[in-house]
Amino acid sequence: MSRPTLVTGGTGTLGRAVVRRLRSRGHAVRVLSRRPRPPGEPGPDRVIGDLTTGEGVDAAVADVGTVVHCATTNGRGDVRAARLLTEAVRDAEHPPHLVYVSIVGIEAVPLSYYRIKLSCEGIVAGAGVPWTIQRATQFHDLVARPAVAQRRSPIVLAPADVDCQPIDVRDVARRLVELVETGPAGRAPQLGGPEVIALADLTRRTLAAEGRRSRVLSVPLPGAIGRALRSGGLLTRDHAVGEITFDQYLAERTNATHERRH
């Protein structure tokens, strides 16, 4: 029988989709999380651990065939996490294939989180373990977030003249599971969503889907970050392979909210 797949961050936005896809394809799945599974909630095996302290990491990696690394601390802790995880993978009796999820355009856009992602890519690629790096564009959930975060405001701010190519986590999960099945690929082809749309327009669509009348105010982002974003730093037009559109995502989200309320 093939060895299980470990999903770090298997409780997160992408990780949950990866876990679902793996299970639907018949893979045995293990999740690394800092929290125990809530009582009564069904789901795969869970190892409790913390990638920034190293707690539980060796146990999580033991006997797995692949690690899909979806966990993120959304900051500096990611570098330490990547280091601890790659060491655990290297020290395993049969080192598993390590798949790291990264972001399109991280060398073009000088955001601090993107610098951290670049460092993590370097750690994964240089660790002497079987590896794959999969870069993707922004997830639909992330793009819909500014409108959610400014929920009470009659005016919602969005960066002016910035295009985005959002992708659904189910499309990313499908690719990641293909990589689990085909094995180490080094730098895999980038993964972009099906459409390029202005961020301000995506915010307007999110507001409309939520039945809100707030006005979207486009604000130019200053400095090098603004310039990089305006010149298409987040895009990968030649890899527009995602299938699920942002409007589909919004419609499904609206239906799910409606069903929960009725």
Ligand X SMILES: NC(=O)c1ccc[n+]([C@@H]2O[C@H](COP(=O)([O-])OP(=O)(O)OC[C@H]3O[C@@H](n4cnc5c(N)ncnc54)[C@H](OP(=O)(O)O)[C@@H]3O)[C@@H](O)[C@H]2O)c1
Residue type, 192: G
Count each helix (H run) and each strand (E run) in the chain, helices first: 10, 11
CA distances from 122 to 125, 156, 160 (A): 5, 37, 32
Considering only residues 196 to 255 of the shown chain, the ones binding ligand X according to CB under 6 A are none
Is position 73 an interface residue for ligand X (rule: CB under 6 A)? yes
Is position 55 an interface residue for ligand X (rule: CB under 6 A)? no
How would DSSP label each residue in 174-210? HHHHHHHHH---EEPPPBB-S--EEHHHHHHHHHHHT
* Closest residue to ligand X in the complex (CB): 12
Considering only residues 107 to 146 of the shown chain, the ones binding ligand X according to CB under 6 A are 136, 138-139, 142
Structure tokens at 201: 């327009």
User: Of 249, 244, 173, whose CA–CA distance to 20 is shortest?
Assistant: 173
Residue of the chain from 103, 129, 156, 180 that contacts ligand X (CB under 6 A): 103
Q: Which residues pair with 215 in a beta bridge?
A: 155
Distance CA 182, CA 200 (A): 38
Residue of the chain from 20, 25, 34, 115 that contacts ligand X (CB under 6 A): 34
Contact segment (CB under 6 A) with ligand X among 7-15, 194-202, 220-228, 245-253 equals: 7-15
Is position 14 an interface residue for ligand X (rule: CB under 6 A)? yes
Is position 61 an interface residue for ligand X (rule: CB under 6 A)? no
Residue of the chain from 4, 21, 27, 33 that contacts ligand X (CB under 6 A): 33
The answer to whether residues 106 and 118 touch, using CB atoms and an 8 Å cutoff, is yes
Residue of the chain from 11, 150, 190, 206 that contacts ligand X (CB under 6 A): 11
- What's the residue count for the chain? 262
Is position 70 an interface residue for ligand X (rule: CB under 6 A)? yes
- Cβ 158 to ligand X shortest distance, Å: 16
Contact segment (CB under 6 A) with ligand X among 11-19, 58-66, 194-202, 245-253 equals: 11-19
Binding interface with ligand X (CB under 6 A): 8-9, 11-15, 32-35, 50-52, 70-73, 77, 101, 103, 136, 138-139, 142
